[in-house]
A = this chain, B = another copy of it.
Amino acid sequence: MTETATLRDRRRRQTASEIQAAALRLALRDGHDSITTEMIASEAGISLRTFFNYFPNKQSALVGRQPVIEQDLADWFRNADGTLIDDLCEVLRRHMHAIDLHRDTARMIDRLLARSPELMPAFHASLQRLSQQLSQLILTRTGPDHAPEAELVAEIFAHALANGFRAWASDTDMKIDDITSILATQIRRIQALLQR
């Protein structure tokens, strides 16, 4: 039973990933709004009904499953003693290492967003979930009375991470760690911009 959970889980991840790949392939080939959920299911070799067991809708399939920040990372952050910025960057750096990133998937998403901007809200909703997790993290250090600011800072980090992610997707020379250095750079630039 100890192994079972992870085995089935791995299988689910794999299927979800295949569905996403199929969706991205079709959307990039035929255009997002001329494909149907049925086409995606068929391309992925599953039934339409099974498609909806994995994703609630077409857009979610394109964006993919949302990774969750692991508990041990959260624990590390709570007890870390660097600046807020540094520790948040470090959390995100480790997080990016913990999940397996596929550069080609990322690149497909990037191209698709350029071609079909109407998908941006869906992608952004995914970012928003990351932002909420970060917000929770920040609150463990600032205390619950800083909720509004924590949300705002979390959103900055999530969006800046996305920028780094996009750069990584389209530049094969970049390493995973470079994503968070871009993130750190952008945070510094924001601080500068806010002084102007």
Residue ranges of A at the interface with B (Cβ–Cβ < 8 Å): 83-85, 120-121, 124-125, 128, 142, 146, 148-153, 155-156, 159-160, 163, 186-187, 189-191, 193-196
Contacts and interface: CB of A to CB of B under 8 A. Distances in A.
Contacts of A163: 148
Contacts of A159: 151-152, 155
Contacts of A142: 193
6 contacts: A85-B194, A124-B125, A149-B193, A152-B190, A155-B156, A190-B194
One complex includes copies of this chain to the number of: 2
Nearest to A141: B196
B84 A194 contact: yes
